[in-house]
Structure 1
């Protein structure tokens, strides 16, 4: 979830591994990642009380485009449980053309010892020209509140000199039924890979509504990600 119940219910920038996009025939069907982040930020809001944590994911992808996987991270929504988020997901990825890719995924957010926070979310991501993306997500039980929520995000990624990459995005969270208001989140960051190792630095945050709802957890911040994976 990412938002503690009634209090606080993503490419390199410490997000869940959104699918294994089309792979070369020679590539392994398994992709994995292990990462350390200075703060687990989801849709502009800290999930770890602004503290660092470890994350890991594993995805199996079939040549047909179907994939299944899991991803986990430490979380801290305040005193008591949960301390861990474990996601399970299944999806399908397809190229509509040489320049348009479509991915649809059903993700289950799970919080051991805090099952009332568990919920499902249907997420679609359309990528254009390998650089621009549009994500639409919907849940009918956001954060275990039995309320609807929508999420829309437009993003882009670009190659920079010296093999650096730039990524940016802005999202709109329609959570008024579940959380009492809608808010905007945004991110911009740079990254660089050396073989299996990637380092990224991002500046993320929310608008005034996000800061009003989440306080310091929705403030603007810099997030460092160090990851290892294929």
Structure 2
């Protein structure tokens, strides 16, 4: 009697194994190709320079990514360069992202900087970025028409980020901006150090951002070193 009971229990257990296997092999929920973000920040800094006259900004973004890694999207922010237009920046971009190796991600993008109401400043920029071993980044950007001035400009940046316990991330960047014509802009360096904390879909970031002496001499208050606090909600 005991032997029959054990055999019956074993058969029931074995019969359940395929069901367990199927449950474990069920495909993960497919990720949406749409990605959005909303950011509120105390100062919109672009390559070390304030684009809002050291004032706050609200920045929405939307991106659609295809299964092969090609993406297209838009991003916007209020800006303040002084009296009159523009009051807004509305960028449009298209790019291609791929994992070239387990330790290397590459991203190539064309970004169109648009300033409604001041079309004379609209221009395209070509940006390449490599992420190495998830923690290190190298970026190169080039335009042959910066600020629609028919002038070449280059930007080089290196960065490092590291995850910490309790969903904290520390990061640092250093960049160099160069202009082919000194009458359009003065070459300078920028840098930043930041600490971020994730709260579910939201990330709170505190950053100290600034430029070198050339940047401060050429661009004044908007190039001064300052703390910037931002919060981003994204899917």
Q: TM-score, normalised by structure 2?
A: 0.86
CA gap of 1:176–1:80, structure 2 versus 1, over 3 A, is same
Residues 136-168 of structure 1: per-residue CA shift (max 9 Å, x gap): 000001011110000000001101122200111
Q: Which has the higher helix share?
A: 2
| RMSD, aligned α-carbons | 1.2
Cα deviations by residue, 1:97-137 (Å, 9 ceiling, x for unpaired) = 00001000000000001000000000000010011000000
Q: 1:80 to 1:132 in 2, by over 3 A?
A: same
Distance 2:149 2:192 in 1: 27
- The match for 2:219 is 214
Partner of 1:61: 65
Within the candidate set 67, 70, 73, 2:77 is matched to 73
Give ranges in structure 2 of 5+ residues lacking alignment.
1-27
List alignment gaps of at least 5 residues for structure 1: 1-23
Length, aligned pairs only: 207
Q: CA deviation at 1:175?
A: 2.0
Determine the structure 2 residue equivalent to 1:183: 188
Distance 1:154 1:25, change over 3 A: farther
TM-score between both structures, scaled by the size of structure 1: 0.88
Give the CA deviation at 1:171.
0.2
The ranges of structure 1 where at least 4 consecutive aligned residues each deviate by more than 2 angstroms after the TM superposition are 178-181
> Greater RCO between the two (CA within 8 Å, min separation 6)?
1
The structure whose Rg is larger is: 2
Q: What is residue 94 of structure 1 aligned with on the other side?
A: 98
1:109 and 2:102 correspond: no
